[in-house]
Structure 1
C-alpha cells in the first residue's frame, strides 16, 4: 500500500461501504489522475513545512524575554537633530559678536590676525542694563589691547572697554552701549550636559563672522595644562569640556551651545593643542559665571597672595643631571655633592641648592617678596607642603593657594633649607596688579 491512500482527504463515503465484501474494482482514469494530483499537493505542502522548519532552526532569534529589534529611525532622528541645530544657531547667532583687538605689540598669540597689530576673537552678549551691554570673552583675546571693537551679527561696529579680566581662568568682560542690541544669551547649565550630546560652537574663526560648527561632548571634565603667559611653560591646569567641534583661531570667546540654544560654555583656543585636529575645549559656563560676577563687581578676581617666585624641584634635578652627563669624562677634580655628607659648613647657605636624600619633589624658591619674605622664606628654600598638603611643583603650590585658601588665612609652610627641615607661617594678603 502506498503512503497516501486515494481517499485519505476525501469527504465522500468510502467506496468499500458501497461494494460487496471481497470485490475489487479497477480504478477509473479520473481516479488515477485525481490520485496523482493529491500526491503532488501533499508533497508540495510537506516540502514547505520542511523548509520552514530548517529556517526556524538556523535563523538567529532573540532570547526568551528579549525585545525584538526596533526598526531604524535614523532618517527621522537625523532630521530632528538638523532642525534643532538650525533653531539653536538662529537663537544664539545675534548674541555672538566678533572682537577686534588693536594690540600694542601686534601679536595677540593664538588668535586670527587681520592686520598688523590687530587680532580677532569672539564674545557673547549676556547682559543689558542701564543703557549698556556686556559681553564675555577670553582674557587672551584682549591681551595687550590699545583699542577694542565689537562687531554685531548685523555688521554694526561698536567701541568696547574692558570691565575686568582674569588670566588664571582666561575670562574677561567687555562693555559697550546697547543701541541696536535687542537680545542677550540664554545661559544654560553645563552640569546637565551628557557625554555624547550634540553641541555647536559659534564664533568668529579665522575672521569668518557668525560661523558655527557642530560636534558632540567628548568629555565632560578634561584637565589640560596651560601656560598663563603663553611662554611654553605650563603653570596652570584648566578643567574644561572637551568637544569634537574644532575651536580655531578667532573662535576663542565664542559660545558653546546645546540644542536648546542655551550657552553652556565659553570656547577657548588658548588651551587647545595646535598639533591636534578635530578637537576643541570650552570653559564650562557653571565655572565661568561666578568669575564673570566678580569681574562685574570688582574688575578682577580677589585672590590670596603669598609672594613666592619658584620653580619645580624636578626640573632642577633634570637640568642638573643633563649638565653632569655633558661634563667632560676626564674631569676628576669635581667636588662631592654638597648634600653627600650633610655638613652645612661645606657650602654657604644660599650659594647652592642642598637637597636632602629622598626629596625629589617640591617648589624651589627663586625669590621671596611681600608676605613670604616677611615670614622668613628665602632663596633656595624647598617648599614641600602647605598646611600638611604635599606640594610637588609650582603648579601644586598655585592650585592649593588659589583653591584652598582665602585672603587673611594663615598658611603653614613646611620647607627644607640647606638640607634641614623647617616650618613657618605666612598670613596671606590680597593680590594686587603690582604683585605680578
Structure 2
C-alpha cells in the first residue's frame, strides 16, 4: 500500500496511423455516390452513441454485479481492500494489507457497521492472505475468479477497492501487459516478495486499492491489485497508469489451500534453499549473492553448495543481487533442473541443481 515499495517501469503506447486517401477518391464520384456517403455517415453517427451506450451499460452491470464482493479492511494502522472468496466469510487480500495483525474490521457493501474478522493465514512470499469474518452477514456475495491464463493485452478492466480510504471506488483502464515479474520493497510494510506473471494495468491503483479486485467486462476477477509504480526520477512520486495485479489463477490456488488446509501446502514457487545477501565489487556495484546459510536437505545442500559461495549465475541469467536471484527463480518451478555458477575461494565453479519449493 505504501508507495515506497513500488517499482518504476515504462509503458510504450503504440500509435495508430489512419489513411484518408480512399475517402478523398470517393469524394470525387457522382452525386449518387455522394448521397450514399451521406447515408453511411448518418448511419455511422447513429451507431456511435449506441456503441457508447452499450459500453456504459456493460460497465454499470459489472459494477453492480462485482462491487458488493469487494470489502474494505481496516487493520490497526493500515487500510486496504479485500475480495469475498466464498459464502462462508473467507476474504482474500494482500499479505501486506494484514501485516502482522490477527484481527480486523471489515466493511462490506451491504453493511454500514464494520464486521470483525480474524486472520486465517498470510503468505508473504506471494503477498496473499485470507481472513475470515466472525459472523457472515446476509447477502454476502462471493466473487467469480477468471482463468487468468486467458487474459489478453488490451482488455478493458475495472479496478475496485478503497483507494485512500474511499470505499467502493472504481477506476477504469486496460490490461497493459501480462507476465511481468515484479519485486516489492520491504519499507513501509512491504513483504519484499518477488511475484511472477503479474498483470500490468493502466487502471489507477492507489494506496488502499491493495487486495481489491481487477475485473473484466464479464464480471470476473482477473487479478488482485497489489502494486503501483513510482518514478525514481521524480522523487519516487507515482507513475500514473502503471499498476500490477496478482493473477487470479494464482490467487485462487493459494486461497483454496489456505481455506482447506489452513496454510499453503503447494506454493509452486521454486527455491534454492539458501539464506543469502548481496555482495558488491571493488566499485561498490552488486556482483553476486553470497550464501550465508544452506538449508539442510534443500536444493543447494543436495548440490553441494556451501556457506561462503558466491552465486553469479542461475541458468542463463546473471545474478548480481538477492532481487535478481528471486526474479530468476520466479520463472522456474519446483523440480526444474538448472545450472548454478558460483565462486568458491576465488575459483569459478558450476553445478546442476534440482530446484526445491519455497
TM-score category by the smaller chain?
Answer: 0.7 to 0.9
Are 1:308 and 2:274 matched, yes or no?
yes
Aligned to 2:78: 119
| Larger deviation, residues 259-268 vs 246-255 | 259-268
1:120 deviates by 0.9
Is 1:243 matched with 2:201? Answer: yes
Max Rg structure: 1
CA contact (8 A) 1:383 1:391 kept: no
> How far did 1:206 drift?
1.0
Alignment of 1:2-401 (within 5 A): 59-61=24-26, 71-72=44-45, 73-102=47-76, 118-128=77-87, 132-154=88-110, 155-176=112-133, 177-217=135-175, 219-221=176-178, 223-227=180-184, 229-230=186-187, 236-268=194-226, 270-273=227-230, 274-298=237-261, 299-300=263-264, 302=267, 306-312=272-278, 316-317=280-281, 320-321=282-283, 363-371=288-296, 372=300, 377-386=305-314, 389-393=316-320, 394-401=322-329
- Counterpart CA distance in 1 for 2:98 and 2:200 is 23
Equivalent residue, structure 1, for 2:12: none
1:203 shift after superposition = 0.8
Aligned to 1:19: none
CA gap of 1:374–1:159, structure 2 versus 1, over 3 A, is: same
Q: Which runs of 5+ in 1 are unaligned?
A: 1-57, 103-117, 324-360, 432-436
8 Å contact kept, 1:95–1:184: yes
For 2:191 and 2:216, the matched residues in 1 are separated by 34
TM-score of the pair, normalised by structure 1: 0.61
SS at match of 1:278: strand
Higher strand share: 2
Name the count of aligned residue pairs: 309
Q: Distance in 2 between matches of 1:88 and 1:390?
A: 42
Q: How does 1:417-436 map to 2 (within 5 A)?
A: 417-423=344-350
- Which one scores higher on RCO, CA 8 angstroms, separation ≥ 6? 2
The separation in 2 between residues aligned to 1:85 and 1:362, in whole angstroms, is: 49
Change (3 A) 1:384 1:96: same
CA RMSD of aligned residues (A): 3.5
Matched residue SS, 2:177: strand
The match for 2:8 is none
Structure 1 distance, partners of 2:243, 2:337, is 39
Unaligned 5+ segments in structure 2 are 1-22, 29-35, 231-236
Deviations 1:294-340 (A, max 9, x none): 33344135456544233445xx12xx2259xxxxxxxxxxxxxxxxx
